[in-house]
Each structure stands twice: as C-alpha cells, then as structure tokens.
Structure 1
C-alpha cells in the first residue's frame, strides 16, 4: 500500500480545512501543469535555544512546506528558516539547535534537497524512511498526513494542535 498523489491532495486539503477552522495558518498552493503540483505551506515565528545553553536563544521564522515526492511516493517536509535579519539558517546551524536529531547522522536525516514542486533548495527531512513511518497510518488513519506529521513534525519544530489529531 502506498500514498497516491490523489490521496495526498485529498488529505492536505483536509489539513487546510481544519486549519481554516482553527485559524492555524496552513495554506494550499497549486502549481499548474505538474503531477505533484499541490502542496501546503505555513509560516510561524519561534525562539530556538541551543541545547544546554539557555542564553543562546535566536528568534527565527519557519516556513514549512508539505509536498508530494514523486520518486519516493511519499509526503515530504521542506523548510526554510530565517533569522530576524533575513539571513537563512544553514543546515549545520539548525542542527546545533535541534536536540531531537542529535543521535542521527545529520545528512541522513535532515538534508538540503530541491523542493519537489518549486525546484528550489530547502532543508528537508530525508524522504527515504517516510514510507516505513507512514505505512501503518495508510491502513488505520482517516488522514495519514496528519498522523505522519504528528510523528515527524516535532523533529523540525513543527507541532500540530491537538484538534488535528482528533481528525485521524
């Protein structure tokens, strides 16, 4: 069992419907003329603190994109992170702020890939393990995208409101 493009589109549209009701900021984007042209985005501002150093806090803006990766046939989380001066945070710099990924190899877990729709470089949770993670949700969840995001989102500082989980 795998997630088709059509199922992906249906589920991300449901995410946006829930988000609109909650005023949570997810927006649907569509690029005409390509099979996987539908994706959702959200921006939010957060403080990042370096583990073990509560004085090293940086205010940043996250831009999350949930898109469909045709080669892997799975959803993918793409993100850009800006400091308040407008400069992007690099992969290595973000790694320093991320306690949840410390046990992993940086380039196997979080990497820079081209966005599957926009063809621009984004930080990305590598899609190679996504099929393994999402498989149980494909069989048992009303919205496997929400279920998958609830598991992998916290690794990139993306936490869903509980109301999303109630829709799974």
Structure 2
C-alpha cells in the first residue's frame, strides 16, 4: 500500500479536522495561501505548562501548531513554534530539554524547516519518517491525518481529543 497522501486527500482530511474542531470549539483553523499548489494548512494555538524531566522545572509556554502538506515527501508535516511567557521563542535545543525522547537523536527527530506554505522557519518533526508512520493508516482510516497525529502529536505536546479519533 502506498504511504503517500495526495494534496487533495490531505486537504479533505484537514477540512474534516476543522469541522470536528468547530463543533468542539477546539481552536483548529483552516488557512489558505492563494496561488500555492499546497496552499491549505490548519493551525491552532494553546498554552501549556512544560516540565523538564530531569530538573522538575516548569515553564508556561504558548504553542502554535500548523499541519501542512510537504510536497517533496507527499505527507503531512507538523510545524510548530513555542514561546515563553516573556515572548521569547524556544530554540530547538531549548525545546529538546523538555522532551522525554532522550534515547533519540534530536536532529533525526526534530529539525527547523521552512513552513511549506508560509516559507518561514518552524520547528518540525522530521518528515522523512512520516511515510513509515502514516503507511499503516492508508486505506484503513477515514482520516489518515488524524490517525498520524494521534501517534506523532504527543512528541510535540499535541494530544487530540477522542472526538477526532472517532472520525477515523
């Protein structure tokens, strides 16, 4: 089974996510950049408390998540920015200190890439492994983007409500 997702299927999936979000008032918004082949993406902001696993230090941060389409890999891409309460951005290295994936290589897991629609730098889960992650859902899930997010979202502190999973 092909692990690639077409732009059209991706767009349908994210529009379905926004429809569920609108019912739940969960904050996902559909965005479009006209004239761009993969011009649709969804975004959401939320404030969370992060804890450094080793130091038990808590920091309140604001996440801005974007789910966009990566044309080269033909897969969804999760992009995000993280701000501290003073407005300063967390770097990749600072963010990694709040992560529990200590056995993983930071640069194989997270990277900074240009957003595929906005062409601005965002932290992202590396897209090369997305094909492997999404493949089991292709052809078996009504919304493979939701299924994929349910697996990878927790790595970037994004947890989906059960109502999204019910749509799969």
> How many pairs align?
166
Question: The residue matched to 1:59 in structure 2 has which SS?
Answer: strand
Give 1 or 2: higher helix fraction: 1
- Give how far 1:139 is off: 1.5
Measured on the aligned residues, the alpha-carbon RMSD in Å equals 0.6
For 1:123, the equivalent position in structure 2 comes to 123
Which shows bigger deviation, 102-111 or 75-84?
Answer: 102-111
For 1:44, the equivalent position in structure 2 comes to 46
- Give how far 1:46 is off: 0.2
Q: Give the Cα–Cα distance (whole angstroms) in 2 for the partners of residues 94 and 143 of structure 1.
A: 29
TM-score between the two structures when normalised by the length of structure 1: 0.97
Q: Give the Cα–Cα distance (whole angstroms) in 2 for the partners of residues 167 and 147 of structure 1.
A: 9
Structure 2: segments with no counterpart, 5+ residues: none
Question: The residue matched to 2:88 in structure 1 has which SS?
Answer: coil
TM-score between the two structures when normalised by the length of structure 2: 0.97
Runs of 4+ in 1 over 6 A off after TM superposition: none
Q: Give the Cα–Cα distance (whole angstroms) in 1 for the partners of residues 105 and 145 of structure 2.
A: 25
Once the two structures are superposed, residues 43-83 of structure 1 have per-residue CA deviations (whole angstroms, 9 ceiling, x without a partner) of 000000000322x1000000000000000000000000000
